[in-house]
């Protein structure tokens, strides 16, 4: 914010910017996210081009989907097929509708592990959280086998078909150690959106700030400098009269500090 104030004389309260800016989401859908927190990796950019986020809730979902848990169990692909109308919205068991409705029947958030265990195995939420925690640590095949047996047995006692109980265990156990709680994804979505917004309206200042705080992000400074040039920003050599120990922005040009 300090660089924007210095170069443009504008005071910005980043915490009060609108979270529904259509220009920001159009840029996100186009995959033009280099320099933006959490959404600049190739996997995130590719997924944004398929999911086509339109609102802040979509950004939360996108950050949670591109994690080892959902990807290992292919939930991100299943979610996309339902969202795009290529597959029907179905549930392994009708009792899971209130747990999985917001994510189109797919397991995306860690809280949903608790809901599945509660609805299918009949466990309390406290015990379900204990199961989730147990699965987030390295366990021997014997220990995992015992947990699987107990889970499936509880599901059968709760009227769940054996095949559905086994499939639920496979999905939950594949997901639990590598998924985000929704609150975690939402907390990441805030700075992700803020950097997207800054990039949309103040690209030179954002790139200068990212370059001034290396190492960080997915791309190296060399890539960021080349990207700045590709976006039409002049990157100047050091100037003994104007350069400092940090990248500066003058007349839309990022200056090398050294």
pLDDT at 195: 98
Whether residue 258 is predicted with pLDDT greater than 80 in this model: the reply is no
For residue 158, pLDDT over 60 is answered with: yes
How much is the pLDDT for 106? 94
Q: What per-residue confidence (pLDDT) applies to 177? A: 63
Half-sphere exposure of 69 (CA within 13 A, CB side): 23
pLDDT for the residue 124: 93
Quote the CA–CA distance of 34 and 190 in Å, as a whole number: 17
| pLDDT, tens digit, 9 for 90 and up, residues 37-95 | 999 999 999 999 999 999 999 999 999 999 888 887 888 999 999 999 999 999 999 99
DSSP SS3 for 36: coil
Residue 256's pLDDT is: 67
**Comparison of pLDDT for 171 and 185, the residue scoring more:** 185
pLDDT, mean of residues 193-215? 95
Cβ within 8 Å of residue 36, ≥6 positions away: 192, 195, 196, 199
pTM of the model: 0.90
Q: Where in the chain is the domain with CATH 1.10.150?
A: 2-60+183-255
Which helix (H) or strand (E) covers residue 235, if one does?
A: strand 235-236
DSSP state, residue 248:
E
- The whole-number pLDDT of residue 140 equals 75
* CATH number 1.10.150 is the correct assignment for the domain at 2-60+183-255: yes
Question: How far apart are the C-alpha atoms of 184 and 239, rounded to whole Å?
Answer: 43
Q: Which helix (H) or strand (E) holds 192?
A: helix 182-201
């Amino acid at each position: 914010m300090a660089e924007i104030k210095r170069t443009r004389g504008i005071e910005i309260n980043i915490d009060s910017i609108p979270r529904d800016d259509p220009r920001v989401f159009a840029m996100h859908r186009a995959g033009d996210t280099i320099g933006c927190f959490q959404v600049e990796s190739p996997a995130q950019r590719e997924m944004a081009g398929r999911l086509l986020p339109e609102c802040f809730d979509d950004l939360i979902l996108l950050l949670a989907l591109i994690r080892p848990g959902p990807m290992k169990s292919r939930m991100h692909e299943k979610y996309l097929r339902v969202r795009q109308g290529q597959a029907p919205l179905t549930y392994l068991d009708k009792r899971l509708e209130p747990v999985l409705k917001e994510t189109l029947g797919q397991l995306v958030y860690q809280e949903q592990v608790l809901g599945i265990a509660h609805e299918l195995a009949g466990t309390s939420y406290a015990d379900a959280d204990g199961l989730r925690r147990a699965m987030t640590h390295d366990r021997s095949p014997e220990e995992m086998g015992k947990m699987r047996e107990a889970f499936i047995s509880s599901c059968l006692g709760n009227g769940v078909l054996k095949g559905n109980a086994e499939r639920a265990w496979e999905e939950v156990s594949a997901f639990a150690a590598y998924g985000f709680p929704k609150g975690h994804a939402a907390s990441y979505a805030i700075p992700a959106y803020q950097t997207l917004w800054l990039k949309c309206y103040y690209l030179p200042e954002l790139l200068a700030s990212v370059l001034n705080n290396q190492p960080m992000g997915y791309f190296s400074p060399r890539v960021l400098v080349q990207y700045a040039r590709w976006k039409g920003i002049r990157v100047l050599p050091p100037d003994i009269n104007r350069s400092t120990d940090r990248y500066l922005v003058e007349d839309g040009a990022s200056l090398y500090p050294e």
